[in-house]
Amino acid sequence: MKNAIKMLMVLNLVFGFALTGYAGGPYGVDERKVIIEGSTTVLPIAQAAAETFMRQNPDTEIVVRGGGSGVGIASLIDKNCDIADSSRAIKDSELDKAVTNGVNPKAHVIAMDGLAVIVNPANPLNALSRKQIRDIYTGNISNWKDLGGNDQKIVVVSRDSSSGTFEAFGVLVLEGQKTRPDALMQASNQAVASVVAHTQGAIGYVGLGYISSEVKALRVDGILPSKETVLTDKYPVSRPLYMYTNGAVTGTTRDFIDFIMSKEGQKIVDEQGYVGLK
């Protein structure tokens, strides 16, 4: 997992009551309630785990929201959530804000993921190199014919800048270069997949859990994204997925993190299309 190690250092779907009036977790009196917010990549894992956890612990309430990694981390720093889902490591600037606000972000790596580069199934191409993908996203290539495909304009679909997926793609594929200004910026993995599925000339990128028959995942540098290629560090666009808490938490928040890391929780990770750690 060398590529992933380099990066270590919902949609508003709600389970239970809305955030308004929240008095749970470490910042309130009801420690049986946990607020989770952030990455739409981690969202399916958090949703499925919350459903199972609440069935097993009917006296608890788990609220799950998306919004993006940056949104989740900001919420943790502002003490508005107990767990921040993130598909990237926390930034130094965010750590500085956290310290100023009396928050000590603690990272829990809960899964591995591969960023799948997807196109519409009508696209005849099956593979691209990272350089070719970078040339598309930075504006150097704008027609599929330049890559051996149809004479068709490339419709570039990207995550928005608050997304950890956007930042991971920027590091692992774009190598720090900026996404072309005419890219269609989307607020979630599902939105990216939907646009690509309904637009013949489109290209996008999503977490493994969002690959479906409605889109075609390309080989990147000759490697197809899959659980096996991510786990063996063969797929070149891989990353860890995180849940951040404020320090070494206790109570229901701790129980939920322990559940995610358990054999049962890691099975849920696998069932959602991601790569479990166990």
Average pLDDT, the chain: 90
Residue 50 lies in a domain: yes
- Asked if 227 and 124 sit in the same domain, the reply is yes
Residue 224 amino acid letter: L
Query: In the structure, what pLDDT confidence band is assigned to residue 278 with cuts at 50, 70 and 90?
Result: confident
Instruction: Tell me: pLDDT of 167 over 70.
Output: yes
Q: pLDDT tens-digit profile of 211-262?
A: 999 999 999 999 999 999 998 999 999 999 999 999 998 999 999 999 999 9
Is residue 104, in this structure, part of any structural domain at all?
Answer: yes
Query: Does residue 108 share a domain with residue 67?
Result: yes
- Clarify whether residues 91 and 165 are in a common domain: no
Indicate whether 250 and 221 sit together in one domain: no
pLDDT bracket for residue 29 (50, 70, 90):
very low
Average pLDDT over every residue of 49-58: 98
Q: Is 218 among the domain residues?
A: yes
Quick check: 15 pLDDT over 70? no
pLDDT at 28 over 50: no
Q: Quote the tokens at residue 25.
A: 């977790």
180-191 pLDDT tens trace: 999 999 999 999
Please say whether the dihedral angle defined by the alpha carbons of residues 154, 133, 191 and 210, taken in this order, is positive or negative.
positive
Residues 14 and 48 in one domain: yes
Residue 140: φ, ψ to 5°: -75, -25
How does residue 20 score in pLDDT terms, banded at 50, 70 and 90? very low
Residue 135's CATH number: 3.40.190.10
Rounded percentage of the chain residues whose pLDDT exceeds 70: 89
Instruction: State the DSSP string of the chain.
Output: -HHHHHH-------SSS-STT--BGGGSSBTTEEEEEE-TTTHHHHHHHHHHHHHH-TT-EEEEEEE-HHHHHHHHHTT--SEEEESSPPPHHHHHHHHHTT--EEEEEEEEEEEEEEE-TT----EE-HHHHHHHHHTS--BGGGGTS-S-B-EEEEE-TT-HHHHHHHHHTSTTPPPPTT-EEESSHHHHHHHHHT-TTEEEEEEGGG--TTSEEPEETTB---HHHHHTT-SSSEEEEEEEEESS--HHHHHHHHHHHSHHHHHHHHHTTSB---
Do 124 and 210 belong to one domain? yes
Residue 118 CA to residue 206 CA, distance in Å, equals: 7
Give the global pTM: 0.81
Residue 30: per-residue pLDDT: 59
* Owning domain of residue 92: 2-112+240-271
**Structural domains in the chain (count):** 2
State mean pLDDT over 197-216.
Answer: 96
Give the integer Cα–Cα distance in Å for 141 and 132: 8
Give me Rg for the CA atoms of the chain. Answer: 19
Q: Are residues 6 and 90 in the same domain?
A: yes
For residue 168, pLDDT beyond 70: yes
Is position 277 within any domain? no
pLDDT at site 37: 98
pLDDT at position 70: 94
Over residues 73-132, the pLDDT tens digits come to 999 999 999 999 999 999 999 999 999 999 999 999 999 999 999 999 999 999 999 999
- Residues 102, 122, single domain; the answer is no
Residue 276 lies in a domain: no
**How would you classify residue 209: left for phi > 0, otherwise alpha for psi between -120 and 50, otherwise beta?**
alpha
